[in-house]
Every structure is written in C-alpha cells, then in structure tokens.
Amino acid sequence: MKNIYHVLLLLFAISFTGYAQNSPVESMESGGDLHMGRNDANNPCISKQQYEAIEKSFAANEKTLDIDNKGKKKTTATLFSWPLKMTNGLNDCSYYFIGNYIDEDTTSPGIKDYNCGTVTYDGHRGTDIGTMPFPFYKMDHDQVEVIAAAPGTILDKIDTSFDKNCAMNNLTPNYIAIQHADGSVALYYHMKKNSLTTKTVGQTVVTGEFLGIVGSSGSSTGPHLHFEVWGTTAYNSLKDPWTGTCNLLNANSWWLSQKPYTEPAIVSASVDSALPVMPPCPATETPNEDSCYTSGATAKFVIFMRNETIGDSSHLRIINPNNTTFTSWARKSTTSYLNSWWTWTKVLPTVAGSYTFEAVYNGDTCTKKFAIGCGSVPNSITTTNLLQLRVFPNPANDKININDEGHDNGIYKFTIKNMLGQTVLSDIATITNNTIQKSISISALPNGVYFMIIETEKARTLTKIVKQD
C-alpha cells in the first residue's frame, strides 16, 4: 500500500513539473466532510431530570419575581433577533451552522423538523446553533457571544459548571432563561463557565444585550447554543420559532426575520502557514492562520463551508495589490455536506504587497487579506530601527489612528494583543508616499488594556493602548 502511494506520488510530481513553469502556482485539493459535534437521540441536549429541575426553578422564580401581578404580562407577541454574534476581532464571513431544529414528530423514533426535513433528533426541543470552524478555539477566545434575542427579565441562571463536555452526561449546564413581556420564556443553554452576564435573576435585559459565551456545558457534544422557547413557564408549553409546513406547535414565526432553512455559504476563507489542526472534542484546535508571508513561499488556501450543495461551484482567486488576478481556480461540489472544508497549496507571488484571497459561492463573496514581504521581522530590534509612531486617541473608544510622515515605504503589519498575549486583531497597510494613515476599529473589543505591535521587515514598535467606553 505504502509503495503504491509512493509511485502515485512520484507520477504526480513528474506530471506536475511538466507544466509548473508555465503555471504561476501549484495546486492540490484536499478536504471533505468537516466533522462537528452534534447532539443526537443518544446524546440529548437536556435530560428529563434536567427539564424537571428547570421547570421547578422557573415556577419558583416566577412566583418570587411576581411578574404576573406586576402587570408586566402583555399580549404582544415576542419576536426574536438572532441570538448570537461574533466578536473579539473575528473577521470571518460567518461563524455558525444549524445542527438540529425542533422535532415536530411526536411519535418515537420518528423525526421531522418544521420544514418536514430531518435536521433534528427524536424528542429535540430547541434549535442547536453550532460555531464553526474551530469551535473550542472560538470558545477559549470568547469569539462568539450569546445575546438576548428579545427583551425581558432574567428568570433563571447557572454559571459555574464545567464547559468542555463531548457527550451526554448528567453534569449541570450553564444557562440563562429570559421571560418576555407576553410570559413566554427563551432558554439559552450549554454556555461557557463563568462567562454569563453579571446581572442576576429579576434584572432586565434588552435585545442584543450580552448574555454569555457559546460553550459545551451540560449534555453537549461540542460548543453550541441550544435555544428553546416556551409559551409559559410550563414544560408542556413548547413553541417552535420557525414557521413552516410541519410546525404543528404554532402558526406564526417568532423571528423578526426568519433565516432560510439552509444557508449555503463559505463561512471562512483563510490563508494558513500550515494546515489547521483539528483534534477531536474537547481539545482546542490550531487554526495556523497568518497574514504575512515571505516572497515566493507556499501557503495553504483554506475554505470552510456550510450547507455545501451538490452541483454548486465555488470560484477562488488570489488578487494582486493592483486588483488584477494573480491566479484563479474553481471547484464543483460533487457531494452535499452540512459542514465541509477544502484546501489548496499555492506558491505565493514574489512581489511584495497587500493581496486578497477571494472565495465566491452561492452569490456571496468571502475574502481575507494577506501580505507578501512582511514575514521576516528580525528577532533583535535595535534602537536604530525602532519605529516612532503617533498612536491616538489613547485611551480610545471605537478607533485607533496611526498618522505620521517620513517613514519607509512598504508593508506595515498591525497586531493588537490582549494581556494574555493572544492576538485579538490584525491588519496590514501598504505605505507608498512615506506617510502612514491608518485607522483600526476596536469597537468590537471588550474594555481593557492591550498592546499594539506595528512592524515592517526592518523595524517594530510596541504601544500600550487602552480601550474604554
């Protein structure tokens, strides 16, 4: 087997060198199904005992809060915004997939989602929204926030449970429940330990307000949000927010704007120094993404897809600094996947500058910037090549500006790191007239102290910056 592999590899290498000189890049496609943890009938999100405990807690807290008698209950219907958002410098094109809808089939083991499909498991009562790619990396770096889908009062909350589960178990989850003006309740389940809002039971939240970070606490096979809706505080008042032919629970959609049943898309297009490392649950993945490469080096061009559909085509392109095409290629989908990933190895351009990796699929364009000629920062920086740059305002609220004249032309790389040394933002700029004029949005970062590193091939500087409201 090994010998056959070697022969094939040799044949492949020979056939390649035949035309490699005429082709600007070499390419070899690999990838396929991207395994993401999804709960199933053998690993249900919430056990019977856990539902009993939740119902008991809801009833007790509702009585204490006295929501009924405060005249807060209105007949107005509750409408939901999307309960997740990406943050902390995540600049992918999306970040989620729907692993399971509500099971509308009351027979066992029959399953049917609101759209009469089978994206559910027997007895499932919520919408499972998983994060992708790199769900544990996203969780460790607080990159996907759970936010209030509708305004209301905190009815119940647990925040101190272990959060890296990979299967069904009886461990306590981290969750928050919000009761809305009409008496209905939304349950946000499986969150990261100690990530929840500091607000307590009885306090109110507005739509879009931070509730916590997507995690894998309770019975969970990987970081995801289980979003479940009850009409009242009673277990048997389940609602399905998705309107469709097979929704037997309620006629109307509870979404302000209901998303399509499937959303075929390129979630992330990245340029990587090596293939991403994706160990099994619960180990944290290593994305290996980089924005700086040396002239003529090779890099991995990687796309992560959601709902890839057979027969569809993706069009990929490396765009030169002057907007012409360095190289382009396409791939046709021969199989449908819930989640998939594809990678190509390419020899990079030799001309320094700011490039773009572009991936077009299903009418959407997903891009990622990278640079040639800024990849080799010297290890020892002497005072003669220390960059002196004006960074303002500092402290800053939404934007950090770097404006200065009389500097070397070339590629400048900007990296913002948090106090743990983790990169939370990175950007690049090409300086052509000895004048640096760069503005970096930091509005998505939590308040706190950060370090900004600005570097060229020859020099670098480190500036302490403070983000505050």
Tell me the C-alpha distance between 410 and 413, whole Å.
Answer: 10
Shortest Cβ distance from residue 190 to Zn ion (Å)?
Answer: 8
In the bound state with Zn ion, the residue whose beta carbon lies nearer, of 268 and 339, is 339
In the set 37, 83, 89, 126, which binds Zn ion (CB under 5 A)?
126
In the bound state with Zn ion, the residue whose beta carbon lies nearer, of 126 and 133, is 126
Shortest Cβ distance from residue 374 to Zn ion (Å)?
Answer: 44
Q: In what order do the strands lie in the sheet with 399-405?
A: 391-392, 399-405, 435-441
Residues 365-404 that bind Zn ion (CB under 5 A): none
Residue 211 interacting with Zn ion (CB under 5 A): no
Number of residue whose CB is nearest Zn ion: 45
Tell me if the bond preceding 282 is cis, omega within 30° of 0: yes
With contact defined as beta carbons under 8 Å apart, do 49 and 370 qualify? Answer: no
Residues 31-50 that bind Zn ion (CB under 5 A): 45
With contact defined as beta carbons under 8 Å apart, do 128 and 43 qualify? Answer: no
With contact defined as beta carbons under 8 Å apart, do 144 and 137 qualify? Answer: no
Q: What is the size of the binding site for Zn ion (CB under 5 A)?
A: 4
Tell me the C-alpha distance between 469 and 460, whole Å.
Answer: 28
Tell me the C-alpha distance between 413 and 369, whole Å.
Answer: 11
Provide the 8-state DSSP code for 78. P
Radius of gyration over every alpha carbon of the chain, rounded to an integer in angstroms: 25
In the bound state with Zn ion, the residue whose beta carbon lies nearer, of 128 and 289, is 128
Tell me the C-alpha distance between 316 and 367, whole Å.
Answer: 10
Residue type, 274: A
With contact defined as beta carbons under 8 Å apart, do 36 and 339 qualify? Answer: yes
In the bound state with Zn ion, the residue whose beta carbon lies nearer, of 226 and 239, is 226
With contact defined as beta carbons under 8 Å apart, do 339 and 294 qualify? Answer: no
Q: Which stretch binds Zn ion (CB under 5 A): 126-134, 160-168, 282-290, 403-411?
A: 126-134
In the bound state with Zn ion, the residue whose beta carbon lies nearer, of 224 and 438, is 224
Q: Per-residue x/- mask for Zn ion, residues 281 to 320, rule CB under 5 A? A: ----------------------------------------
Shortest Cβ distance from residue 45 to Zn ion (Å)?
Answer: 3
Residue 241 interacting with Zn ion (CB under 5 A): no
Q: Which stretch binds Zn ion (CB under 5 A): 167-175, 218-226, 402-410, 430-438?
A: 218-226
Shortest Cβ distance from residue 343 to Zn ion (Å)?
Answer: 30
Nearest to 114 by CA among 225, 248, 231, 235: 248
Residue 452 pairs in a beta bridge with: 416, 463
In the bound state with Zn ion, the residue whose beta carbon lies nearer, of 102 and 302, is 102
Nearest to 281 by CA among 222, 224, 367: 222
Residue 128 interacting with Zn ion (CB under 5 A): yes
In the bound state with Zn ion, the residue whose beta carbon lies nearer, of 128 and 272, is 128
In the set 226, 306, 317, 467, which binds Zn ion (CB under 5 A)?
226
Shortest Cβ distance from residue 278 to Zn ion (Å)?
Answer: 22
Q: By the criterion CB under 5 A, which residues form the site for Zn ion?
A: 45, 126, 128, 226
